[in-house]
């Protein structure tokens, strides 16, 4: 999976940084490394990596700000590496635009599995059962082009956000369980990460809904899951 991929490691622990570089280089990847967020952003802009591994507690610019800035520039997947393991920290990372969250210390196999899962999500195209387009006058989704328009204006949407939207639209009208969503969007290994679903639904609501507090499209059933409601042709105000 890492053969011919470009990975950017932004990590201030020189020993961890070097060990990851050696490991991933052996796996066939091209590796760029930085020890703080500002240096990492410069390398990101220069090399446009396929994936970013990002520490949080760093000098100059911390991982939260770095993650936000990378996400404003690109949909490249970001995996946060951190010693912080509270739900609050995980949610903050996801809201900053991260795709996954790995707590230190971690095993080589766990990290490689997470990287593999994230890269598979990026490379996976929408399933053929999914309609080619959706349009109701307010929201337009073109699955082949991976394009989303709200009021005819393009919306910047990440790979994971688009995959979640595609899965919900494919099963429009159904309440999909948290576990089903996690398995189909993030992979079976994330079945206990229900907070991922809550955070990404919140992000989609902010992107797509006129009023995220009173959503037309993305409904939830407390303790069960979420779904998508198709709308009839909407008249724009």
pLDDT of residue 28: 92
Per CATH, the architecture of 6-123 is what?
3-Layer(aba) Sandwich (3.40)
3-class DSSP state for residue 9?
A: strand
- pTM, entire model: 0.62
First to last CA, the chain: 47
Q: Which tokens go with 149?
A: 């328009």
Query: Residue 128: what pLDDT?
Result: 44
The domain locations on the chain are: 6-123, 133-228
| C-alpha span between 106 and 213 (Å, rounded) | 38
- CA 209, CA 228: separation in Å to the nearest integer? 12
pLDDT in tens, the chain (237 residues): 788 899 999 999 999 999 999 999 998 999 999 999 999 998 998 898 999 999 999 988 889 889 988 887 787 899 999 887 677 777 888 888 888 989 888 888 889 988 988 888 777 544 445 568 899 989 999 988 889 999 999 999 988 999 999 999 988 989 988 888 988 888 777 777 899 999 999 999 999 999 999 999 999 988 889 999 998 765 455
Q: Is the dihedral of CA 107, 76, 171, 213 positive or negative?
A: positive
| Whether 9 contacts 35, CB under 8 Å | no
The matching CATH number, chosen from 3.40.50.1980, 1.10.10.10, 2.120.10.30, 3.40.50.970, for 133-228 is 1.10.10.10
Q: Do the domains at 6-123 and 133-228 have one common CATH topology?
A: no
Helix (H) or strand (E) holding 45: helix 37-47
Return the pLDDT at 200: 95
Q: What is the gyration radius of the CA atoms in the chain, in angstroms? A: 18
pLDDT of residue 131: 61
Residue reference for tokens 């959706």: 134
Specify the residue for token string 């020993």: 15
**Runs of H (alpha helix) within 74-209:** 87-95, 108-123, 159-170, 178-181, 194-208
């Amino acid at each position: 999976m890492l053969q011919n991929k470009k990975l950017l490691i932004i990590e201030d622990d020189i020993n961890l940084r070097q060990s990851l570089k050696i490991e991933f280089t052996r796996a066939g990847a091209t590796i760029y490394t930085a020890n703080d967020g500002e240096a990492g952003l410069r390398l990101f802009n220069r090399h446009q990596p396929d994936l970013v591994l990002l520490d949080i507690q760093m000098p100059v610019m911390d991982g939260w700000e770095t993650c936000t800035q990378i996400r404003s520039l690109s949909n490249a997947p970001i995996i946060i590496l951190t010693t912080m393991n509270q739900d609050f920290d995980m949610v903050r990372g996801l809201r900053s635009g991260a795709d996954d969250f790995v707590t230190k210390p971690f095993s080589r196999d766990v990290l490689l599995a997470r990287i593999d899962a994230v890269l598979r999500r990026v490379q996976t195209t929408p399933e053929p059962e999914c309609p080619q387009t959706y349009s109701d006058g307010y929201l337009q989704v073109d699955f082949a082009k991976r394009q989303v328009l709200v009021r005819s204006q393009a919306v910047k949407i990440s790979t994971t956000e688009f995959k979640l939207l595609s899965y919900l639209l494919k099963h429009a009208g159904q309440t999909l369980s948290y576990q089903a969503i996690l398995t189909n969007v993030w992979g079976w290994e994330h079945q206990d990460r229900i907070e991922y679903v809550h955070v990404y639904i919140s992000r989609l609501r902010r992107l797509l809904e006129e009023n995220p507090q009173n959503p037309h499209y993305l409904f939830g059933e407390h303790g069960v899951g979420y779904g998508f409601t198709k709308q009839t042709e909407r008249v724009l105000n």
